[in-house]
Structure 1
């Protein structure tokens, strides 16, 4: 559905709250020369645009909180008004794919109008066809709000997010308002939230985010369970006992592809009496391997990294470090077998162990690097909520969205039995 200039102005009045602060990221220069209306490029502060985008999204407000619930109600009202008046916003033309700073064309002008509707750019009466500094800032804010790599390019993930209809986004807001209300009653003063669709972790205290961590969570077919629990133990430089599901789905295949796999990754085999076996004792052409225990020694290549954070659950999932740090830079971080991998987990562990005494950040890092093999029970257990929130809003008016990776939005699911 085409949105006319008049509708655009009305739409910005409705949805402009989404990124109302974004206008501060750009100066008033429209990018047009005063002599003859020829487009004039203003040098883009790329790092500044990225920093501004992040600051508008990553505030101290928790995703899971009563304040977010109130913010969502405002967002819902504005999106309802927009959809009622316009039906939809324009989908990006194919020519928009691949656009980036310095390029020009009709698609750039259409992209500006779209980002003005969402509040990612301030309203301008006259829009040129240059992918200029202002458009770069708007694209970066849009990417930050959708959890994408902030690169200023209309890449595949950004093009896809721009193509999602307005009524779909409205439905996300409505569903997630109910989910947050569902969880809000179980919140305490201090807690950890894993938001699965965002693949992020927040450590919250006194209604503020103290730490925020990028995470890797479960694949679609090995989903991270949604539940309320308590973190009760931290294990430094742990052994990793390979779950039977991974033995069956992965380890047997790895050994058939490379018979030296176990030796390379320092994984040892034990029978039911604790006797160590050789890989040649296993029939890898069958599922014989699931009858044995596979344990990986501590060390730099250990799948759990330098620590494991345990919380009560029946699924044998937990939070842990990882040697594969590069995964935290991916857009779609749904790569684990159900457990949660946390970036910069040393700072989170120090926060969790603060009541145990002697475990500041320096102490945790020393334990990591020194290879300390110790299990420490928390003197004060910390609640943890693994959640499913695909849309939320903060008090600055910034609305964020994520993909419905486990299809709970599609099913209309708003409550989860084990999160009660």
Structure 2
């Protein structure tokens, strides 16, 4: 961060600041492109990154500026993305942007000729101001611009050019333009009256917005369906919040996951509080089942409420034919992953109690304190909403809110028509034996 400057010290840094305030720093203007003043030389100096640290605070705030309480959906969505389309058409007509091909790790403090390519690329996309110049130094200007770019693309805003940041940088402008045009059609279909209060789940962005009066009241991360078991896009209504839910395993998970686990470890169901129930509701002992049989038994596999329940504290139901829902998870660490395509179709919600409180605000008797008290009892408690809340589960990989910050996300389900946009894929991970979680037996 910025170093404190003693008042008696007169440095090149303070000289530049004085010159800038006097209006001498319009060095990026086209009219001066063929000239180079002493201030130009200072700004473009290769060693500038070692002393131009008064801009560190500004750079560190660049990624924060991408965050907005403007919702993705709504009547203004198409107009906002059309502005972005016009801007990207201009970029394409001007020849697009250069590729960035670093041979060394690029981050704050590094000096490398490739940084000039990076500066040009970030300037064209609007992440770096032209006044930052064209030196080889990866200084705080570039650091802030990279963080802003990363935030706009759903990447960790660490300012380091890792594999996926470089891949995102090198997607051609023409491809990004086509991505915007594809998503314009999707946003146009969602531009009507969505309701005063609604929930949106954006699958590629892996996050949830709770919107009220056209403003985002709550935004939180989500874990959505893996490629082989995708989350379905649907318009529906949330009608129920269940505290301390039972989890009933879908047939697909019984066959694909539980049966193989029981062959390896016959105590798995017992250890994880999963009971077998027949059609009369009578409990059946796991020891009486032939787990090597070709077909799974025609029984209900139901997990008791508790800390290791696959849905943890909360299940949020909405009308749908896919047996999908929103829910809590006992493995909160999964939300730290960059790519959160890990479920079997359901959506796990970070800070689910905040969302539950928001959903139940119009249902009498359910303030946050009462929700917490009931969760602590471990007693299954279904709560019907007084008024159902619309939920829109959408697949939007590019958008621009009215703040004109253009956002792009990975086309994880490959619906945008260009394989180049699916930068990252996930096929799930081998899970260790142990307590049941929604990583090893994933609720549908």
Query: Same fold by TM (over 0.5)?
Result: yes
> Alignment RMSD, CA only?
2.4
CA–CA separation in structure 2 for the residues paired with 1:226 and 1:238: 24
In the alignment, which residue of structure 1 is the partner of 2:94? 85
What's the CA shift string for 1:52-80, capped at 9, x where partnerless?
A: 413x3221110112222211111101111
> 2:128, 2:145 within 8 Å by CA — same for their partners in 1?
yes
Partner of 1:209: 216
2:330 to 318, 323, 327: 323
Q: Distance in 1 between matches of 2:238 and 2:405?
A: 31
Question: Is this contact kept in 2: 1:31–1:39, CA < 8 A?
Answer: no
Kept in 1, the 8 Å contact 2:74–2:193? The answer is no
> Is residue 53 from structure 1 mapped to residue 63 from structure 2 by the alignment?
yes
Give the stretch that moved more between structures: 391-400 or 375-384. 391-400
- Which structure is higher in helix share? 1
Structure 2, unaligned stretches of length 5 or more? 1-27, 31-38, 420-444
Q: Which moved more, 1:345-354 or 1:357-366?
A: 357-366
Q: Which runs of 5+ in 1 are unaligned?
A: 1-7, 11-29, 413-420
Among 220, 229, 233, the alignment partner of 1:226 is 233
Using CA pairs under 8 Å that are at least 6 residues apart, name the structure with larger relative contact order, 1 or 2. 1
Deviations 1:26-73 (A, max 9, x none): xxxx9975898743424488787455413x322111011222221111
Question: Quick one: structure 1 residues 185 and 343, their matched pair in 2 at CA, closer, same or farther if it must change by over 3 Å?
Answer: same
C-alpha distance after superposition, 1:284-314 (max 9, x if no partner) = 2234325221111111111101010000001
TM-score normalised by length of structure 2: 0.81
How far the C-alpha of 1:402 sits from its partner, in A, is 0.5
Matched, 1:241 2:248: yes
Highest Rg: 1 or 2?
A: 2
Q: Does the CA contact (< 8 Å) of 1:240 and 1:297 recur in 2?
A: yes
1:165-194 deviations in Å (ceiling 9; x for gaps)? 111110111111111111122511211100
**Most deviating of 352-361 and 138-147:** 352-361
8 Å CA contact 1:216, 1:333 repeated in 2: yes
Q: Distance in 2 between matches of 1:84 and 1:173?
A: 16
> 1:318-375, CA deviations, whole angstroms, 9 ceiling, x for partnerless residues?
0000011111111111110000111001111111111112322232223223324210
Instruction: Compare 402-411 and 255-264 and name the one that shifted more.
Output: 255-264
Correspondence 1:123 to 2:130: yes
Aligned residues: 383
- Shift, 1:94, TM fit: 3.7
Cα distance in 2, alignment partners of residues 35 and 197 from structure 1: 39
Structural mapping, 1:32-47, within 5 Å: 38-41=47-50, 42-43=52-53
Residue aligning to 1:175: 182
2:45 and 2:135 in contact (8 A); partners too = no
After TM superposition, list the pairs within 5 Å mapping 1:399-418 onto structure 2: 399-410=406-417
- Does the alignment pair 1:64 with 2:73? yes
Native 8 Å contact 2:399 2:407 kept in 1:
yes
* 8 Å Cα contact 2:255/2:295 also seen in 1: no
CA distance in 2, matches of 1:61, 1:232: 25
Alpha-carbon distance between aligned partners in 1 of 2:237 and 2:366, rounded to the nearest angstrom: 19
Q: 1:158 corresponds to which residue?
A: 165
Q: Secondary structure at the match of 2:130?
A: coil
Aligned counterparts of 2:119 and 2:44: Cα–Cα separation in 1:
23
Whole-angstrom distance in 2 between the partners of 1:279 and 1:142: 53
